[in-house]
Amino acid sequence: MGRLTLLQADVTANAPVQKILLSRPQVMWLPAILFFDSRDNEIPGSRVTGFINAADFSQHLRKLAP
CATH of the domain at 22: 3.40.30.10
Give the structural domain span for 41.
16-64
Convert the pLDDT of each residue in 31-56 to its tens digit: 889 998 888 889 999 999 999 999 99
pLDDT(64) > 80: yes
pLDDT score of 24: 78
Amino acid at 44: P
**Under 8 Å between Cβ of 44 and 34:** no
**Per the domain annotation, does 4 fall within a domain?**
no
Q: What is the pTM of this model?
A: 0.74
Question: What is the C-alpha to C-alpha distance for residues 50 and 39, in angstroms, rounded to an integer?
Answer: 26
pLDDT score of 66: 60
